[in-house]
């Protein structure tokens, strides 16, 4: 690397941008606001996909693929939906050299076209529930973009389900929120707060929106996955009906839920340090990098067989041997630190002699993260260390978050704390208070947590009686 | 099913369309020429993806993601490329409510935008080769569309590689053609002929195009995967250069190769029969369906524990138990035959008594495909049968193909045979002969096979001396 990364404490935003480019996670595309996800970034996304997809299938969902193009008239069928999305649309007006009679929207999300298909497929209660997920790309014409966090085109999964009853639809919405929480905690080592969105923050067309909110390394919040109970809004707009057991026509209750490549941004910002990425072991494209250390051909001849043996022993893990000869071991250490590989194993002539290897933990860059491990039984030790790294990363992120969540006594203190943290405060529920707070502080309501105990207090803004607390934070 | 499928012999085309709809592989989308791939069809595509992706990774490739939108000016940089694709483009002219300064093309293929990125990423010979694949969707504005075979939007993988030398690029092109051949034969049980495309049939912008060609059940040919050696055409158009070991700037040599959801159509048409799909065991979404047979609750209580035991024994295979109670076993048999599940296992009270199960092979619908297998050791027997089905499907398709490839003595006979088969004939290589043959017979050159022995003969059309034989066929 030519020069050091910017420090997180000095310029978090530049640290983020430069880290992504230098670690070769992504690059800017020649179209404004679009990104190229490079192999290292895409491998991380593929691991996210695998972890989620297994959970979706375990909860009874199947994958399918719906068209990229949606007739403009479809979006107009659900009033709130079109109001929410119409400023952000990319529109195809020419196909095969001819002007189209009806313009086609490049999907910003697929409730409408999937709703249309469900209305064709669903006839009776026996066809329900329909539990379908789609992995794909969507386009939202954003004005201010950031790699992974907000790009014109992004990659995601969108689940769309239809149910016979409201109760089942709400259960599904909450079940998938639980799936996202479980994924964030147990795969990405990111503590998240699952909760309900306020009226102004919910999805365009939803009855209720749920979210998992995570704190980034600069204390800002990132909405990391959402699950929506759509009521009968889309069922009525698209005529998704079924014949119930008593032979009466009923409208379905639908849900949708999504998690996107934005989550890659969450991983970068929740865990990274001034040296670069720190990737959670279960998702890291490379879990262990082996750096052979030798000064000459004799030493190389000594070291190489041990490197091969260790690599074979670690089969089943995602292991890379860095065999580059044009750079020094020191360069390699920095390079893999930048790229956030959880474990580095160094093998030099002395290690060969002692029958051990040097193991360095990415999450503990100092001396305390380094140990010498016997080659015998190495796999068990590496497995144990990967688990320890996952746990330590989670706990560090949790401690950081908890240290930056405040319960301000009044609005003056509130305005202070949300400059460098979150406020967990009573809110009367009025949009005017929410709006004024946003104007005063840039902090928005993030969510009303699900595990909230009953209670009452005074709205942090207007002082009126309030029955719920809500997290306020500046957010990405 | 309300009524029978059309017979393949009477209306192959309608058989194909109706089979896809009835087996719930895909459906027509509300946008002309687009399809919805339903869960059963998508599960087949996911298995195709897994089989190919493992092969790509084993040959050193990584996945990445490049943007959906390409500036119109990029396409214009390679003359043949823009001529080939410009009639088929979908164009975004409006974004975020504003008319765009430069229209954006929805990618029909990604040579141009990937070429642009490679020119940024490649500096020296040390950066080569770059071996990247992308799984995604592309759009080509086709006028006559067919589910899976030709749709406006389709799903595929496109590999794009850059090399220091022509030799390496040609090796890569051929290596990936071999990968496709291996996949077709060993996963899909489809015999294919790998070969080179004629000048008029090659990819717009390629130096050489290679293809795998398969014969469908109506004897028509389907181009099932292609691999292109792009020479330095795109490297020059996009300035993809590297500094060689002697410090001279050189243009790269690039390749691209792709296989799409069209291959799902190949599987349907190469193997299906009048009862429906016959899916190759290694790709089938469901490999074994278990149908419990009982007339009353007593019998059900007898049968259910054995069904569970058998299901547990077959763990590791893709197994479905058909527990529907609203339809008869006979309905279920027809239903799973329609959907092409390789093995059906029936378990009734008599089977419980005898400690056996009834096993039916989808590829042998008659009595000879049915056997009674002891429950003990069932897994080994099922594994063996799946292998036997794969082999039998391959051999049947191969025998059918070989029986429909002809070596006509003259052009009159040629015109006859290509009405119901392929001709393998000498061709002088002139575009005029190729064009006249197409006009006379609708047969096009499919490929010049790679394993062709040196020889010479007379062009089947003009009688001039010819040094190569080529497959002619009507094609999808």
Q: Which chain A residues are Cβ-neighbours of B45 within 8 angstroms? A: 65
Q: Which two tokens stand for residue A26?
A: 């992504």
pLDDT digit string (tens) for B208-256?
999 999 999 999 999 999 999 999 999 999 999 999 999 999 999 999 9
Mean pLDDT across the stretch A36-49? 98
State the residue for tokens 């499928």. Answer: B5
Closest to B159 measured CA to CA, from B141, B140, B143, B175: B175
pLDDT digit string (tens) for A383-424?
999 999 999 999 999 999 999 999 999 999 999 999 999 999
Query: Do B139 and A103 lie within an 8 Å CB cutoff?
Result: no
pLDDT digit string (tens) for B407-464?
999 999 999 999 999 999 999 999 999 999 999 999 999 999 999 988 999 999 999 9
Interface residue B154 vs chain A (CB under 8 A): no
| Res A1: pLDDT | 47
Q: What percent of chain A has pLDDT over 90?
A: 96
Cα(A87)–Cα(A140) distance, rounded to whole angstroms? 9
Cα(B18)–Cα(B41) distance, rounded to whole angstroms? 14
Distance from CA of A79 to the nearest CA of B (A): 18
Compute the mean pLDDT over every residue in chain B, rounded to the nearest whole number.
97
Q: Which CATH fold topology does B12-271 show? A: BirA Bifunctional Protein; domain 2 (3.30.930)
Distance from CA of A98 to the nearest CA of B (A): 9
| Res A2: pLDDT | 54
Interacting residues of B384 by C-beta distance below 8 A, sequence separation 6+:
none
Q: Which residue has the higher pLDDT, A46 or A2?
A: A46
Interface residue B89 vs chain A (CB under 8 A): yes
Query: Phi first, then psi: what are they for B27, rounded to 5°?
Result: -145, 160
Say if CB B301 and CB B249 are below 8 A apart: no
pLDDT of residue B1 exceeding 70, the answer is no
Q: Which chain A residues are Cβ-neighbours of B107 within 8 angstroms? A: none
pLDDT digit string (tens) for A211-235?
999 999 999 999 999 999 999 999 9
Indicate the angle between helix axes B378-403 and B297-313, nearest 10 degrees.
Answer: 80
pLDDT of residue B323 exceeding 70, the answer is yes
Q: Which chain B residues are Cβ-neighbours of A43 within 8 angstroms? A: 62-63
Cα(B42)–Cα(B44) distance, rounded to whole angstroms? 5
Cα(A257)–Cα(A158) distance, rounded to whole angstroms? 6
pLDDT digit string (tens) for B156-185?
999 999 999 999 999 999 999 999 999 999
Cα(A424)–Cα(A405) distance, rounded to whole angstroms? 7
Interacting residues of B280 by C-beta distance below 8 A, sequence separation 6+:
B187, B188, B189, B190, B267, B271, B342, B389, B390, B393
Closest to B263 measured CA to CA, from B294, B237, B225: B225
Indicate the angle between helix axes A297-313 and A378-403, nearest 10 degrees.
Answer: 80
The CATH number for A288-385, chosen from 3.40.50.800, 3.40.50.720, 3.40.640.10, 3.30.1330.10, is 3.40.50.800
Distance from CA of B161 to the nearest CA of A (A): 13
- Angle CA(B104)–CA(B109)–CA(B110) in degrees, nearest 5? 75
Among the residues of A161-206, which ranges form H helices? 166-186
Cα(A281)–Cα(A291) distance, rounded to whole angstroms? 18
Say if CB B458 and CB B466 are below 8 A apart: yes
Query: Do B29 and A66 lie within an 8 Å CB cutoff?
Result: yes
| Res B2: pLDDT | 54
Compute the mean pLDDT over every residue in chain A, rounded to the nearest whole number.
97
Say if CB A31 and CB B70 are below 8 A apart: yes
pLDDT of residue B73 exceeding 60, the answer is yes
Interface residue A30 vs chain B (CB under 8 A): yes
Interface residue A66 vs chain B (CB under 8 A): yes
pLDDT of residue A3 exceeding 80, the answer is no
Cα(A392)–Cα(A446) distance, rounded to whole angstroms? 26
Q: What percent of chain B has pLDDT over 90?
A: 96
pLDDT of residue A66 exceeding 50, the answer is yes
B250 to A18, B77, B112, B120, B163: CA distances (angstroms): 29, 19, 19, 14, 11
Q: Tell which CATH architecture fits domain A405-473.
A: 2-Layer Sandwich (3.30)
Closest to A240 measured CA to CA, from A133, A135, A113: A113
**Picking from A313-317, B2-6, B299-303, which range would have the lowest pLDDT averaged per residue?**
B2-6
CA A345 to chain centre: 29
Cα(B184)–Cα(B174) distance, rounded to whole angstroms? 15
pLDDT category of residue B334 using cuts at 50, 70 and 90:
very high
Q: Which two tokens stand for residue A293?
A: 């250390």
DSSP per residue, B75-100: HTTSHHHHHHHGGG-EEEEEETTEEE
- Cis bond upstream, residue A397 (ω within 30): no
DSSP conformational letter for A199: G
Interacting residues of B472 by C-beta distance below 8 A, sequence separation 6+:
B414, B418, B422, B423, B424, B425, B427, B437, B441, B443, B444, B445, B446, B460
Say if CB B462 and CB B428 are below 8 A apart: yes
Domain ranges for chain B: 12-271, 288-401, 405-473
Q: Which of B30, B71, B132 has the CB atom closest to A116's CB atom?
A: B30
pLDDT of residue B264 exceeding 60, the answer is yes
Task: Give the helix/strand (H/E) hosting A18.
Answer: helix A12-22
Query: Do B71 and A132 lie within an 8 Å CB cutoff?
Result: no
Beta-strand relationship, B343-347 and A465-466: unpaired
Number of alpha helices (DSSP H) and beta strands (DSSP E) in chain A:
14, 25
| Res A4: pLDDT | 86
Flag whether the ipTM exceeds 0.90: yes
DSSP conformational letter for A143: S
Q: Which of B29, B92, B120 has the CB atom closest to A92's CB atom?
A: B92
CATH number of the domain at B288-401, please?
Answer: 3.40.50.800
Nearest residue in chain B measured CA to CA from A21: B121
Cα(B415)–Cα(B421) distance, rounded to whole angstroms? 10
Closest to A346 measured CA to CA, from A316, A369, A315: A369
Closest to A461 measured CA to CA, from A420, A419, A412: A412
Same fold, A288-385 and A405-473: no
Instruction: Write down the pTM of the prediction.
Output: 0.97
Task: Give the helix/strand (H/E) hosting A330.
Answer: helix A329-338
Q: Which two tokens stand for residue A291?
A: 């750096």
User: Which 212-231 residues of chain A touch chain B by CB within 8 A?
Assistant: none
Mean pLDDT across the stretch B312-334? 96
DSSP per residue, B173-233: HHHHHHHHHHHHHHTS----EEEEPPGGGS-TT-SEEEEEEEE-TTS-EEEEEEEEE-TTH
pLDDT category of residue B129 using cuts at 50, 70 and 90:
very high
């Amino acid at each position: 690397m030519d020069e050091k990364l910017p420090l997180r404490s000095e310029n978090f935003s530049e640290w983020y941008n430069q880290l992504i480019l230098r670690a070769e996670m992504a690059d800017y595309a020649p179209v404004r606001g679009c990104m190229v996800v490079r192999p290292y970034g895409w491998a991380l996304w593929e691991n996210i996909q695998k972890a989620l997809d297994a959970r979706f299938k375990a909860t009874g969902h199947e994958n399918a693929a719906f068209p990229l193009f949606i007739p403009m008239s479809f979006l107009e069928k659900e009033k709130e939906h079109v109001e929410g999305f119409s400023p952000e649309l990319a529109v195809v007006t020419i196909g095969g050299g001819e002007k189209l009679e009806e313009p086609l929207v490049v999907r910003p999300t697929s409730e409408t076209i999937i709703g249309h298909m469900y209305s064709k497929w669903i006839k009776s209660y026996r066809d329900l529930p329909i539990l379908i997920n789609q992995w794909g790309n969507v386009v939202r014409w954003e004005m201010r973009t950031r790699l992974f966090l907000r790009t014109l085109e992004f990659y995601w999964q969108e689940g769309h389900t239809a149910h016979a009853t409201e109760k089942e639809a709400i259960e599904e919405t909450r079940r998938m929120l639980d799936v996202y929480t479980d994924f964030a905690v147990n795969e990405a080592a990111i503590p998240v707060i699952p909760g309900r969105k306020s009226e102004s923050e919910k999805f365009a067309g939803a009855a209720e929106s749920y979210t998992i909110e995570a704190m980034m390394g600069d204390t800002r919040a990132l909405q990391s996955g959402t699950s929506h109970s759509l009521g009968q809004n889309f069922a009525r707009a698209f005529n998704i009906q079924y014949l119930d057991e008593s032979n009466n026509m009923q409208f379905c209750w639908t849900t949708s839920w999504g998690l996107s490549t934005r989550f890659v941004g969450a991983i970068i910002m929740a865990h990274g340090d001034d040296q670069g990425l720190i990737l959670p072991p279960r998702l890291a494209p490379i879990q262990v990098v082996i750096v052979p250390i030798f000064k000459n051909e004799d030493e190389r001849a000594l070291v190489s067989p041990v490197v091969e043996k260790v690599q074979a022993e670690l089969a089943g893990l995602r292991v890379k041997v860095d065999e580059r000869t044009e750079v020094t071991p020191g360069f390699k250490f920095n390079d893999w630190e930048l790229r956030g590989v959880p474990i580095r194993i160094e093998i030099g002539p002395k290690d060969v002699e002692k029958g051990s290897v040097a193991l360095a933990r990415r999450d503990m860059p100092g001396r305390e993260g380094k140990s010498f491990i016997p080659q015998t039984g190495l796999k068990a030790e590496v497995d144990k260390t990967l688990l320890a790294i996952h746990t330590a990363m989670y706990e560090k992120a949790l401690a950081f978050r908890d240290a930056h969540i405040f319960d301000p006594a009044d609005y003056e203190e509130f305005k202070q704390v949300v400059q460098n943290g979150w406020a967990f405060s009573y809110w009367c529920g009025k949009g005017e208070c929410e709006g004024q707070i946003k104007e005063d502080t840039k902090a928005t309501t993030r969510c009303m947590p699900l595990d909230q105990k009953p209670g009452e207090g005074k709205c942090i803004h207007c002082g009126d009686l309030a029955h719920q607390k809500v997290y306020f934070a500046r957010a990405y």
